[in-house]
Amino acid sequence: MKKKLLAIFLLVSSLTFSEERILSFEQITLDEKTELVYAIGEETPYTGVVEDYKFLI
């Protein structure tokens, strides 16, 4: 029983903490000197997905 609870806890926590962040183009900034992309307000480089939607009207 304890092994099952531990396995469920590890599975749920790994799924929760490994959630992928998706930012829009307006939520990032590019450091032109280092050519790294940062999420606004953060000091670590952003390595996730950036969406840029262009609507055709």
pTM (two decimals): 0.57
Look at residue 15 and tell me whether its pLDDT is greater than 70.
yes
Yes or no: say if 17 and 4 are a contact pair by the CB < 8 Å rule: no
CA pair distance 14, 55, nearest whole angstrom: 36
57 in a domain, yes or no? no
Look at residue 33 and tell me whether its pLDDT is greater than 90.
yes
Confidence band of 51 (pLDDT split at 50, 70, 90): confident
Yes or no: say if 25 and 46 are a contact pair by the CB < 8 Å rule: no
12 in a domain, yes or no? yes
29 in a domain, yes or no? yes
In this structure, the chain runs to a length of 57
Whole-number pLDDT of residue 57 = 61
Domain that holds residue 5: 1-51
Yes or no: say if 52 and 27 are a contact pair by the CB < 8 Å rule: no
56 in a domain, yes or no? no
The total of structural domains in the chain comes to: 1
Confidence band of 52 (pLDDT split at 50, 70, 90): confident
Look at residue 54 and tell me whether its pLDDT is greater than 90.
no
Average pLDDT in the 9-36 region? 86
